[in-house]
Amino acid sequence: MIFILYLAINNKKRSCGNGSYLLRWYLEKYRDKSIYLNIDKINENAIDYNIRKKD
């Protein structure tokens, strides 16, 4: 079992697919394991709410 408590991407590297790339890397590297990602609730009042929200 793999538990990702916190995943952070540098502000300058966001919105370029780096987070998705990293998650795909985990899925490939640990394909025989269950992976759990801790996700915080998005603050709807945050300045960058539209960037943080994924459909």
Q: Which residue would you say has higher pLDDT here, 34 or 52?
A: 34
Residue from 24, 53, 50 nearest 37 by CA:
24
Please tell me the predicted confidence (pLDDT) of residue 25. Answer: 95
In contact, 18 and 9? CB cutoff 8 Å: yes
Domain boundaries, the chain: 2-52
Q: For residue 55, what pLDDT band results from cuts at 50, 70 and 90?
A: low
Q: What burial class does residue 50 get, using C-beta atoms within 10 Å of its C-beta: 0-12 exposed, 13-18 middle, 19+ buried?
A: exposed
pLDDT at 48: 80
pTM: 0.66
